[in-house]
C-alpha cells in the first residue's frame, strides 16, 4: 500500500473512561505507513506510535502520553474473518514497553490494558517486554474480561443494563428518593429466576402497575392486584405472589431505615456495598427484607447506583472449580465471587457492575449463551483459560 493511512481506536482505560488512540507512524518514523504481509495476504500490519487522550466526565480531554518511539506497538488486524494462525514472530517488537511513565496511571499497566484490548478487537497485538520486566498482577484475569467484552460487542450480544447508567448518575451527583428506591426494589424482585430480557419491554407497564411507585397507593392496594397484573403481562415468577405479599412490609422497613439514617440514600451510602447487602439480606438483621436474599439485595442497591456485583448462579458457576477455577468448589461461593469481581475491577479499571454485566451476558440464555449450564465450549473466546477441557 502506497497511500498513508490513519487509524483511530477507542478502548476503555483503567479508570473506565474512553481513550482514543490516534495511531500513526511506525518503528522507523514514516508516518502512517501500512504494509501487507505476503505470507498472510488477508491481514495488514501497522506499527503504531501513539498519542492518547483521556475524555473526562465534564467532556474535556487531557493528554496522557505523547507520541514517542518507545510507545510503539505492533498491531496485526484482519481485513476479513478468515484468519491464519498467528506466526510466532508477530509477538515481537524491540521497542515495546521500554518506558516507565511517572503519572497517576503507570505506563506499563496502561499499555498492557491497551494491548489486551487491541488483541481482543483486532485479533493480535504483538509485544515482548524487555528483559527484567514482569507482567502486571492478574493480567490473565484482565485478558479474560476484555476477551469476553470483545466477543459480546462484536456480536451485539451484551445486555445493556440500566444499572450502569444508575451508577454513572450517582457518580455525577444524583440522589434517589424513596419512591426510586422502591422502584429499584421492585425491579430486583422481577429478576428472580427470570430472564431480564423478557421484562425489559414491559417496564413502562410495570411502572404503571405500581402507580409510578406512589407509596400510599401501593400500601392501599391488595398484593393480589400486583401479582395478577404482573402475570397478565408475563412478568411474574414463581415467587411473585410471596414477593407482593411482602411489599408493604418491605416499604415499611425502608421507612424505618429512613427515620434512622435520614433517607434511604444516606443508608445505602453509609457503608461498603457488601455490608449494606448483609443488613438487607441477613436473617439476623433488624432491616431484613422479606423475600430478598443476597443476590436480590445486590440487584436492588445497584438499581439505585451503588456499584457492586450480584453473585447469582451465572457468576458462581463461571468462577467455579470446573470452569475458570477461582474456587475449589462448584459453584463458587457468594463470598468468592464478590472477592474475585472486586479484584477484577482493580485490575481492569472497570466498575464491578460492568464486569458483572459482561460475565452475566456471556453466560445468560438469550444473550451470549456461551458459558451456560450446558456450555458451548467450541464457541468460547476464553477456552484456553478454562478448566473444563483439562
Report the chain (390 residues): mean pLDDT per 10 consecutive residues: 29 32 28 33 33 48 38 32 32 27 38 43 28 42 80 71 81 94 97 82 97 98 98 95 98 98 97 93 97 93 92 93 94 92 85 90 88 92 83
Residue spans of the domains in the chain: they are: 7-136, 177-303
Helix (H, G, I), strand (E, B) or coil at 186: helix
For residue 4, the Cα-to-chain-centroid distance in whole angstroms is 36
Please report the pLDDT score of residue 193 as a whole number.
Answer: 79
Parallel, antiparallel or unpaired: strands 34-36 and 18-24: unpaired
Q: How many angstroms separate the CA atoms of 341 and 63, rounded?
A: 30
All cell numbers assigned to 109: 499497566
Please report the pLDDT score of residue 319 as a whole number.
Answer: 96
Residue 133: DSSP 8-state: P
Q: How many angstroms separate the CA atoms of 220 and 201, rounded?
A: 27
Please report the pLDDT score of residue 7 as a whole number.
Answer: 29
Angle, helices 162-171 vs 294-303, to 10°: value is: 60
Q: How many angstroms separate the CA atoms of 201 and 295, rounded?
A: 23
Please report the pLDDT score of residue 127 as a whole number.
Answer: 29
All cell numbers assigned to 384: 484456553
Q: Residue with C-alpha cell 483511530? A: 8
CATH fold of 177-303 reads Endonuclease III; domain 1 (1.10.340)
Contacts with 59 (C-beta within 8 Å, 6 or more apart), sequence order: none
Quick one: how many helices (H) and strands (E) in the chain? 15, 7
Q: Are 47 and 25 in contact (CB under 8 A)?
A: yes
Please report the pLDDT score of residue 160 as a whole number.
Answer: 59
Q: How many angstroms separate the CA atoms of 389 and 378, rounded?
A: 10
Amino acid at each position: 500500500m502506497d497511500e498513508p493511512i490513519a487509524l483511530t481506536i477507542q478502548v476503555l482505560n483503567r479508570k473506565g473512561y474512553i481513550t482514543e488512540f490516534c495511531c500513526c507512524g511506525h518503528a522507523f518514523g514514516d508516518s502512517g505507513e501500512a504494509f501487507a504481509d505476503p505470507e498472510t495476504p488477508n491481514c495488514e500490519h501497522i506499527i503504531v506510535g501513539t498519542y492518547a487522550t483521556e475524555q473526562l466526565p465534564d467532556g474535556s480531554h487531557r493528554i496522557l502520553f505523547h507520541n514517542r518511539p518507545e510507545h510503539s506497538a505492533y498491531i496485526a488486524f484482519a481485513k476479513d474473518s478468515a484468519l491464519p494462525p498467528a506466526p510466532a514472530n508477530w509477538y515481537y517488537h524491540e521497542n515495546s514497553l521500554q518506558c516507565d511513565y511517572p503519572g497517576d496511571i503507570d505506563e506499563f499497566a496502561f499499555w498492557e490494558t491497551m494491548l489486551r484490548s487491541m488483541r481482543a478487537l483486532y485479533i493480535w497485538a504483538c509485544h515482548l517486554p524487555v528483559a527484567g520486566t514482569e507482567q502486571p498482577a492478574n493480567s490473565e484475569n484482565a485478558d479474560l474480561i476484555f476477551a469476553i467484552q470483545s466477543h459480546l460487542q462484536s456480536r451485539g450480544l451484551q445486555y445493556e443494563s440500566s444499572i450502569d447508567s444508575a451508577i454513572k448518575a450517582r457518580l455525577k451527583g444524583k440522589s434517589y428518593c424513596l419512591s426510586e428506591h422502591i422502584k429499584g426494589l421492585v425491579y430486583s424482585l422481577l429478576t428472580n429466576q427470570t430472564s431480564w430480557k423478557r421484562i425489559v419491554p414491559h417496564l413502562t407497564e410495570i411502572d404503571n402497575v405500581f402507580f409510578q411507585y406512589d407509596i400510599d397507593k401501593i400500601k392501599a392496594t391488595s398484593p393480589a392486584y400486583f401479582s395478577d397484573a404482573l402475570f397478565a403481562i408475563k412478568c411474574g415468577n414463581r415467587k411473585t405472589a410471596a414477593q407482593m405479599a411482602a411489599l408493604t412490609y418491605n416499604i415499611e422497613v425502608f421507612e424505618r431505615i429512613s427515620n434512622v439514617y435520614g433517607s434511604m440514600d444516606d443508608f445505602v451510602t453509609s457503608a461498603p456495598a457488601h455490608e449494606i447487602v448483609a443488613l438487607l439480606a441477613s436473617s439476623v438483621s433488624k432491616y431484613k427484607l422479606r423475600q430478598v436474599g443476597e443476590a436480590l439485595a445486590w440487584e436492588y442497591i445497584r438499581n439505585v447506583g451503588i456499584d457492586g456485583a450480584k453473585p447469582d448462579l451465572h457468576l458462581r458457576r463461571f468462577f467455579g472449580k470446573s470452569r475458570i477455577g477461582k474456587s475449589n468448589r462448584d459453584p463458587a461461593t457468594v463470598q468468592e465471587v464478590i472477592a474475585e469481581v472486586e479484584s477484577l475491577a482493580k485490575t481492569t479499571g472497570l466498575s464491578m457492575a460492568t464486569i458483572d454485566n459482561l460475565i452475566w451476558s456471556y453466560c445468560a440464555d438469550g444473550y451470549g449463551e456461551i458459558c451456560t449450564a450446558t456450555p458451548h465450549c467450541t464457541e468460547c473466546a476464553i477456552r484456553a483459560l478454562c478448566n473444563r477441557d483439562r
